[in-house]
Amino acid sequence: MWRKNFVAALGALALMTTAAMPALAGEPDVETEEARREAPAGYYIWRNEDGWHLRTHGPGEGHHFTAWLHTNGSFEEVSGVQLEDGDEFSVAHNEHAILLDFHTYRAWDGVDFQVDEGRCIRFRLELNGELISPRHIYLGQGGRHPEHNPFGWCRR
Give residue-wise pLDDT tens across range 6-62. 444 444 444 343 344 445 555 454 444 444 456 788 999 999 889 999 999 987 778
**DSSP state, residue 103:** E
Structure confidence at residue 24 (pLDDT) = 55
- The answer for residues whose C-beta is within 8 angstroms of residue 39's C-beta and 6 or more apart is 30, 57, 59
Structure confidence at residue 39 (pLDDT) = 76
CA atoms within 13 A on the CB side of 139: 17
Structure confidence at residue 35 (pLDDT) = 45
Structure confidence at residue 76 (pLDDT) = 96
Q: What is the pLDDT of residues 85-140, one digit of tens each?
A: 899 999 999 999 999 999 988 788 999 999 999 889 999 999 999 999 999 999 98
**Which of 21 and 70 is assigned the larger pLDDT?**
70
Give the domain range for residue 144.
Answer: 2-154
**3-class secondary structure, 7:** helix
**Which of 25 and 66 is assigned the larger pLDDT?**
66
Domain count, the chain: 1
CA atoms within 13 A on the CB side of 79: 7
Structure confidence at residue 107 (pLDDT) = 82
Q: What is the band of 72 on the pLDDT scale with cuts at 50, 70, 90?
A: very high
CATH of the domain at 107: 2.60.40.1780
**3-class secondary structure, 137:** strand
pTM of the model as a whole? 0.79
Structure confidence at residue 98 (pLDDT) = 98
